[in-house]
Amino acid sequence: MNPARSDHNHDEDCEDHSEDGEEMPFMDKIIISENNKYYLLFNSSVTILMLFSSYYYGYLAANRFHLIDVHKEDPSYYMREFNIVMGLELIFLLHMIT
């Protein structure tokens, strides 16, 4: 393919091959564009989760002594709270990595 052609559109190429027909490296296949609609949806969802999580963490901190009594009645309560916090933190970690 002639690289000097101005009407060449990279999106028209096969995803698995580069312009010269060679196999693309794995890292080139997993690059996500900032304009990708799924990335934008994920980014917007993370922004909403960040707002929610700040209120949720505040709730946990403000009620930490009351939750001791709740834990006596329902021992699995802390585990549910721990799972929610870890789920949120894993999503934030994934967002930070991307």
In this prediction, residue 2 carries a pLDDT of: 47
Would you state the structure tokens that stand for residue 94, as one six-digit string? 């994934």
Assess contact for 77 and 67: CB atoms under 8 A.
yes
In this prediction, residue 21 carries a pLDDT of: 64
Question: Taking the alpha carbons of 33, 34, 36, 38 in that order, is the dihedral positive or negative?
Answer: positive
pLDDT tens per residue, the chain (98 residues)? 444 544 444 444 445 555 666 777 777 777 777 888 888 999 999 999 999 999 999 988 888 777 777 777 887 888 888 899 999 999 999 999 87
Assess contact for 70 and 77: CB atoms under 8 A.
yes
d(CA 64, CA 85): 14
d(CA 50, CA 89): 10
DSSP code for 22? P
